[in-house]
Amino acid sequence: MNAKLVINYQEVELTKEDIIAMSYGVNRQTDIQTRQGYYSDTFSLPKTATNLEVFGYPDQLNSTDTKRWEKLTAWIESDGVQVVYGFAQLQSIGETLSVVVK
């Protein structure tokens, strides 16, 4: 399976071990108050120059770029078919970038 993750209209770099697991909520069409969305488990991205650029260099404390706090447009493609469209949020940064897609 050929998976691709695009955040803020840029393809991010994944490792071969990266698995993006999604959780889907079942909704009743007539009950708006119980509506649920889908979201991914938090997953890690390697700390590469491309991935850091996508999130506005969150490892630089003096950066004025606010992308690290924003919901960025994101989608996941599998074998050329878009399976998820939503937004990505940076959860934390350490040895890797922890990200969730909603």
Predicted local confidence at residue 82, as pLDDT: 85
Gap between the Cα atoms of 91 and 69, Å rounded: 9
**Structure tokens belonging to residue 10:** 């840029």
Q: Which residues of the chain have pLDDT under 50?
A: none
Predicted local confidence at residue 76, as pLDDT: 84
Phi and psi torsions of 34, nearest 5°: -100, 15
Phi-psi region of 8 (alpha: psi -120 to 50; beta: other; left: phi over 0): left
